[in-house]
């Protein structure tokens, strides 16, 4: 109990420290409502970029689903971990002594204790200039008049009023945007309306199951941490919990209760109980309820989790596994909030739907050129606890890795608001991929960066330069394109990202198990036609040029094509650029150029990335 008292004391002191800062300044450039995954990322990113930012958070922790909801196993982006997510992941690796020490369960390569992640995020926040945080603060009203937000929130029984120019709705369920009267979708879309053949014929209000996670601790052989038998306990509720089969294979389910637990095995002898198969997923649609109604309704989800914990202890015999008593600052040792897999989905400047994920290059619009967030996890929906949910085999919707267009974060009908968390403009099906932790952290970083560019240029978010936002994200080590084979440690990372997001050289997407891929293939040779075809939409000088063959591009032919756009470019200038950019070897007229070399040279000599695009991805 002494350790618990110490944790409570430290938490209280941190809250008081942040709270003292919060009341030192009542006017901000940016207010972020919600200190969850996206809100934390947005606030830290904006603060680092020089924006005076306030995060208003109800709990005593930062991180939301990563921490306060106990979903401490990262889904996806293991090979494309850039930007703030990459920094967060690296911080965890440093704490645990390397990535191998975090690969403790089979659901993920990155598992961690929630309180460790919370402490890491609070440390990063405390080191961020221009960022203030008000914990244990419940937002009350948010009014936008004369291009200024006036936000009230309640803290310690007192109402506080703050103002800002911009606001990011990073609440778990999109509550601030709803209070503005913005239109949204909730539940499954109709296939004929959304243009997705996998969607049901008729729309419905069915959302994904939520989960009240439990974190268990191994108290050692001989210990009996069995909780009292919960009310309404029936072991048949969990009868198939130990049956498991990877849905990406055709293998039959196997009965293995140890494997069920090892799914979310965390470092230091702990277990994340977040199990969909006859486990503690629970269907409950509380999105449109008020705060008191939600609190009351969630008691049922929490009770279901306690029944499952009792089942694990009593029926399966794991009596030595008990609720981790020092993990959360809660009286019942459960997380502070449930894991919400779905929110209101607002209408943005663009709507990110399945065709843009399946094949971004042949989709109706080239949204990929406006990409600001990347993800590689497959489309994953949880509907096993709702028998009325249409039978959609989401695993069979095979997609490559993808990028999310920046316009999905900008609402159509509000010039001072930016969307974050799971409330961005996506279809119900695509939300099954964009809801995952690395993507939501990326959404937050993009939202904070968008706010920075908007404020510094004194333009509304809908009017900013998309390329300026993308460049600022690149400077933070974030991915714009999900190329798996060129990471931010490469000196040519930015060049490849810019050429990729300009569409000059396209990637190759591969649906692959639980970690989909897009390859740039830097060593692959480029044909003359491939280069001209990629440059033609950007440079009108190549519109009527058809003198490019399918043969491999040589240095001599590269100069010939280059001069169509940039006349009088001598071979010496190309050779100097080749050397200046650190490419290996030497540039010669007969050298066959690979994709990396072409990307770096085109970026250096033509810089197609500077050509602006609109929200649909068309070149201006």
The pair of three-digit structure tokens given for residue 468, joined into one six-digit string: 């300026």
Nearest to 168 by CA among 419, 405, 434: 419
Assign 451 to helix, strand or coil: helix
Same domain assignment for residues 42 and 171: yes
User: Is residue 137 within 8 Å of residue 105, measured between CB atoms?
Assistant: no
Judged on CB neighbours under 10 Å (0-12, 13-18, 19+), 362 is exposed
Average pLDDT over residues 130-141: 98
- Residue 44 falls inside a structural domain: yes
Residue 7 has pLDDT above 70, yes or no: no
Nearest to 18 by CA among 117, 161, 137: 137
Average pLDDT over residues 410-439: 98
- Residue 297 falls inside a structural domain: yes
Same domain assignment for residues 108 and 249: no
Strands, E assignment, 92-190: 131-134, 137-145, 148-155, 158-164, 166-169, 184-185
Residue 395 has pLDDT above 90, yes or no: no
From residue 28, alpha-carbon distances to 167, 224, 237 in Å are 10, 52, 50
Which residue reads 């050298």 in tokens? Answer: 591
Same domain assignment for residues 122 and 243: no
Residue 130 has pLDDT above 50, yes or no: yes
From residue 139, alpha-carbon distances to 28, 142, 169, 418 in Å are 16, 8, 11, 17
Give Dmax (Cα) for the chain: 83
Same domain assignment for residues 162 and 304: no
Same domain assignment for residues 446 and 358: yes
Going by their DSSP bridges, the two strands 402-405 and 417-419 should be labelled as: unpaired
User: Is residue 213 within 8 Å of residue 114, measured between CB atoms?
Assistant: no
Residue 361, number of CB atoms within 10 A of its CB: 11
Its domain, for residue 432, covers: 12-190+345-371+406-475
State residue 377's pLDDT score.
96
Same domain assignment for residues 111 and 24: yes
In sequence order, which residues have a C-beta less than 8 Å from that of residue 241 and are 6 or more positions away? 257, 260, 275, 277, 278, 279, 308, 311
Q: Any idea what the Cα angle at residue 477 is, between residues 473 and 483, rounded to 5°?
A: 95
Give 390's DSSP letter: -
| Top-confidence residue, 294 or 24 | 294
State residue 6's pLDDT score.
45
Assign 428 to helix, strand or coil: helix
Strands, E assignment, 474-551: 508-510, 517-519
State residue 310's pLDDT score.
98
Q: Which residues pair with 527 in a beta bridge?
A: 552
From residue 459, alpha-carbon distances to 31, 147, 384 in Å are 17, 11, 45
| Model-wide pTM > 0.85 | yes
- Residue 245 falls inside a structural domain: yes
Residue 24 has pLDDT above 60, yes or no: no
The pair of three-digit structure tokens given for residue 607, joined into one six-digit string: 């810089």
Residue 557 has pLDDT above 60, yes or no: yes
Same domain assignment for residues 32 and 130: yes
Same domain assignment for residues 138 and 43: yes
State residue 525's pLDDT score.
98
Task: Write down how long the chain is.
Answer: 620
Assign 518 to helix, strand or coil: strand
- Residue 364 falls inside a structural domain: yes
What's the pLDDT band for 247 if we cut at 50, 70, 90? confident
Share of the chain above pLDDT 90, in %: 93
Return the H-helix or E-strand segment holding 47: helix 37-48
The structural domain count of the chain equals: 3
- Residue 584 falls inside a structural domain: yes
Report the chain's terminal Cα–Cα distance, integer Å.
63
Q: Whole-number mean pLDDT of the chain?
A: 95
- Residue 400 falls inside a structural domain: no
The pair of three-digit structure tokens given for residue 56, joined into one six-digit string: 């208003």
| Top-confidence residue, 24 or 598 | 598
Q: What is the CATH number of the domain that holds 74?
A: 3.50.50.60
Distance of CA 64 to the CA centre of its chain: 12
Spatial separation of the C-alpha atoms in residues 72 and 110, rounded to whole Å: 8
Helix, strand, coil percentages (3-state) for the chain, rounded to 5, are 35, 15, 50
Alpha-carbon dihedral sign for residues 361, 83, 271, 322: negative
Strands, E assignment, 313-456: 321-323, 345-346, 371-375, 402-405, 417-419
Same domain assignment for residues 309 and 418: no
User: Is residue 553 within 8 Å of residue 593, measured between CB atoms?
Assistant: yes
Alpha-carbon dihedral sign for residues 499, 501, 507, 512: positive
Residue 524 has pLDDT above 50, yes or no: yes
Same domain assignment for residues 156 and 298: no
In sequence order, which residues have a C-beta less than 8 Å from that of residue 440 and are 6 or more positions away? 36, 37, 38, 41, 65, 420, 421, 422, 434
For 325-376, the pLDDT digits (tens) are 999 999 999 999 999 999 999 999 999 999 999 999 999 999 999 999 999 9
| Top-confidence residue, 119 or 253 | 119
Spatial separation of the C-alpha atoms in residues 251 and 599, rounded to whole Å: 43
The pair of three-digit structure tokens given for residue 212, joined into one six-digit string: 């009240």
For 197-239, the pLDDT digits (tens) are 999 999 999 999 999 999 999 999 999 999 999 999 999 999 9
Same domain assignment for residues 461 and 502: no
From residue 264, alpha-carbon distances to 97, 252, 321, 337 in Å are 19, 21, 13, 18
What's the pLDDT band for 23 if we cut at 50, 70, 90? very low
- Residue 2 falls inside a structural domain: no
Average pLDDT over residues 523-534: 98
Alpha-helix runs per DSSP H in 241-290: 257-262
What's the pLDDT band for 548 if we cut at 50, 70, 90? very high
Rg (Cα) of the chain, in Å, rounded?
25
Give 363's DSSP letter: S
Spatial separation of the C-alpha atoms in residues 469 and 519, rounded to whole Å: 24
Spatial separation of the C-alpha atoms in residues 410 and 101, rounded to whole Å: 39
Residue at a domain's end among 262, 291, 323: 323
The pair of three-digit structure tokens given for residue 511, joined into one six-digit string: 């649906």
Same domain assignment for residues 47 and 168: yes
Nearest to 494 by CA among 510, 513, 509, 481: 481
Name which of 61-70, 246-255, 369-378, 380-389 the model is least confident about. Answer: 246-255
- Residue 618 falls inside a structural domain: no
User: Is residue 83 within 8 Å of residue 442, measured between CB atoms?
Assistant: yes
């Amino acid at each position: 109990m002494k350790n618990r008292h110490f944790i409570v004391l430290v938490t209280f002191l941190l809250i008081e420290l942040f709270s003292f800062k919060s009341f030192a300044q009542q006017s901000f450039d940016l207010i972020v409502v919600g200190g969850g995954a996206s809100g934390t990322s947005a606030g830290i990113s904006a603060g680092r970029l020089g924006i005076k930012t306030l995060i208003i958070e109800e709990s005593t922790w930062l991180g939301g689903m990563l921490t306060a909801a106990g979903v401490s196993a990262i889904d996806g982006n293991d090979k494309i971990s850039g930007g703030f997510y990459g920094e967060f992941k690296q911080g965890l690796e440093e704490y645990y002594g390397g990535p191998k020490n975090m690969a403790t369960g089979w659901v993920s390569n990155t598992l961690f204790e929630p309180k460790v992640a919370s402490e890491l995020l609070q440390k990063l926040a405390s080191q961020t200039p221009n960022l203030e945080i008000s914990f244990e603060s419940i937002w009350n009203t948010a009014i936008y008049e004369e291009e200024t937000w006036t936000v009230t929130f309640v803290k310690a029984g007192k109402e506080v009023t703050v103002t800002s120019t911009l606001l990011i709705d990073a609440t778990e369920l999109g509550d601030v945007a709803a209070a503005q009267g913005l239109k949204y979708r909730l539940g499954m879309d109709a296939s004929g309306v959304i243009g997705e053949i996998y969607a049901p014929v008729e729309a419905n209000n069915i959302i994904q199951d939520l989960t009240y996670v439990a974190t268990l601790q191994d108290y050692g052989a001989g210990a009996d941490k069995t909780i009292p038998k919960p009310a309404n306990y029936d072991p048949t509720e969990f009868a198939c919990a130990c049956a498991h089969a990877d849905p990406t294979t055709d293998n039959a389910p196997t009965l293995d209760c140890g494997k069920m637990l090892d799914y979310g095995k965390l470092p230091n002898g702990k277990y994340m109980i977040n199990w969909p198969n006859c486990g503690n997923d629970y269907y409950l649609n509380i999105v449109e309820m008020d705060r008191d109604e939600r609190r009351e309704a969630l008691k049922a989800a929490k009770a279901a989790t306690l029944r499952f914990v009792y089942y694990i202890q009593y029926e399966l015999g794991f009596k030595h596994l008990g609720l981790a008593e020092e993990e959360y600052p809660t009286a019942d040792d459960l997380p502070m909030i449930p894991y919400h897999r779905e929110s209101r989905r607002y209408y943005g400047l663009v709507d990110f739907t399945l065709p843009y994920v399946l094949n971004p290059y042949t989709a109706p619009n080239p949204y990929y050129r406006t990409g600001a967030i990347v993800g590689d996890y497959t489309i994953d929906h949880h509907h096993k606890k709702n028998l009325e949910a249409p039978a959609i085999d989401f695993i069979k919707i095979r997609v490559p890795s993808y990028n999310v267009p920046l316009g999905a974060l900008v609402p159509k009908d509000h010039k001072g608001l930016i969307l974050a968390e799971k409330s961005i403009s996506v279809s119900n099906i695509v939300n099954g991929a964009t809801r995952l932790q690395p993507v939501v952290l990326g959404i937050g970083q993009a939202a904070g960066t968008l706010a920075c560019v908007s404020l510094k240029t004194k333009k509304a978010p809908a009017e900013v330069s998309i390329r300026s936002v993308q460049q600022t994200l690149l400077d933070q080590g974030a991915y714009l394109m999900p190329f798996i084979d060129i990471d931010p440690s490469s000196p040519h990372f930015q060049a490849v990202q810019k050429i990729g997001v300009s569409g000059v050289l396209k990637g190759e997407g591969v649906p692959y198990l639980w970690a989909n891929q897009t390859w740039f293939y830097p060593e692959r040779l480029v044909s003359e036609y491939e280069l001209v075809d990629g440059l033609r939409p950007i440079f009108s000088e190549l519109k009527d040029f058809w003198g490019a063959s399918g043969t491999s591009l040589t240095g001599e032919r590269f100069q010939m094509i280059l001069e169509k756009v940039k006349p009088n470019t001598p071979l010496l200038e190309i050779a100097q650029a080749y050397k200046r950019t650190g490419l290996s070897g030497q540039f010669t007229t007969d050298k066959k150029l690979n994709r990396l070399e072409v990307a770096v040279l085109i970026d250096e000599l033509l810089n197609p990335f500077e050509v602006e695009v609109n929200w649909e991805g068309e070149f201006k």
